């Protein structure tokens, strides 16, 4: 597991209380793990911890709905 993935999973666990590392393809919204408020907090934490800036206006839920997609998205922005 690389640093980015570990950081993303840590942020998700802190925000949701769920360890999603066992299933990187879990749909976080469909499963009720993440909601709109959680998304905003996620973006803030990614900015604080990894320096990734994603304007909420550009947040496309379908591109961020699984841990694997979040990691890929973050890595593409680093």
> How many structural domains compose the chain?
1
Q: Give me the count of residues in the chain.
A: 78
C-beta neighbour count of 8 within 10 angstroms: 28
Helix, strand, or coil (residue 56): helix
Give the pLDDT of the chain (78 residues) as one tens digit per residue.
789 999 999 999 999 999 999 999 999 999 999 999 999 999 999 999 999 998 888 899 999 999 999 999 999 998
C-alpha distance from residue 36 to each of 63, 64, 75 (Å): 14, 12, 22
Indicate the pTM of the whole model.
Answer: 0.92
CATH number at residue 6: 1.10.1200.10
List helix spans (H) across 2-66: 3-16, 36-50
Range of the domain at 71: 1-75
């Amino acid at each position: 597991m690389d640093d980015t993935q570990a950081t993303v999973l840590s942020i998700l666990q802190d925000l949701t209380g769920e360890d999603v590392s066992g299933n990187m393809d879990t749909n976080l919204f469909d499963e009720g793990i993440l909601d709109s408020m959680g998304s905003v907090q996620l973006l803030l934490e990614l900015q604080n911890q990894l320096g990734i800036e994603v304007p909420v206006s550009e947040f496309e839920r379908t591109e961020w709905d699984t841990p694997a997609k979040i990691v890929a998205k973050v890595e593409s922005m680093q």
